[in-house]
Amino acid sequence: MMPLPLAQLMDQFRRLPGIGPKTAARLAYHVLGMEREKALMLAQSIITAKDKISYCSVCFSLTDEVPCSICRSQARDHGLICVVEEPRDVAAMERTRGHERNRGFQGTYHVLQGTLSPLDGIGPEDIRIKELVERIQSGNVREVNMATNPNQEGEVTATYVARLLKPLGIQVTR
Ligand code: ZN
| pLDDT at residue 100, as a whole number | 59
What is the whole-number distance in angstroms between the Cα of residue 7 and the centre of ligand 1? Answer: 40
Q: What is the pTM of this model?
A: 0.82
**Distance, CA of 11 to CA of 7 (rounded, Å):** 6
Digit-coded pLDDT (tens) for 1-17:
899 999 999 999 999 99
Digit-coded pLDDT (tens) for 95-116:
887 665 556 689 999 999 999 9
What is the whole-number distance in angstroms between the Cα of residue 164 and the centre of ligand 1? Answer: 22
Digit-coded pLDDT (tens) for 19-46:
999 999 999 999 999 999 999 999 999 9
What is the whole-number distance in angstroms between the Cα of residue 65 and the centre of ligand 1? Answer: 9
Neighbouring residues of the ion ligand 1, judged by CB less than 5 Å: 56, 58-59, 67-68, 71
Percent of the chain with pLDDT over 70: 96
pLDDT band at 118 (very low <50, low <70, confident <90, very high): confident
Cis peptide before 3 (omega within 30 of 0): no
| Burial classification of residue 120, based on how many CB atoms lie within 10 Å of its CB (0-12 exposed, 13-18 middle, 19 or more buried) | exposed
**Distance, CA of 36 to CA of 41 (rounded, Å):** 9
**Distance, CA of 86 to CA of 171 (rounded, Å):** 22
**Distance, CA of 121 to CA of 105 (rounded, Å):** 34
